[in-house]
Amino acid sequence: MQRDKHEMHYRTLFKTVSWRVLATLTTMSIVYLFTGEMLLSVGVGAVEIVAKMILYYFHERIWNVLTWGTWSHPLSEFQITHDLTDRDRDIIRDKLRELGYME
């Protein structure tokens, strides 16, 4: 089954960075609240942000390959590589009727 949405690598990378910044600021705040030491908080944050960005990126790419819990548009199996013929239109119309989109 073909998926109709694929995430580009740069999108995954941007999501990785934006999430890690937010999560690292949270971790640094928690370390500071427990220890009262700013230098320790920054050190933990610096190590954590790099390690977890790498892990998250690969985690996202693996999940993009898995189809569990996803669905495809009913017409995503039809790839249009040329102008539609009358037969192509009939196939699409029949599929839409079969799925209850047309009478």
CA dihedral 76, 79, 85, 90 (to 10 degrees): -20
Report the chain's terminal Cα–Cα distance, integer Å. Answer: 26
**Average confidence score pLDDT of the chain:** 85
| Rounded average pLDDT over 42-71 | 88
**pTM for the full predicted model:** 0.51
Structural tokens at position 63: 């999940």
How much of the chain exceeds pLDDT 90, in percent? 32
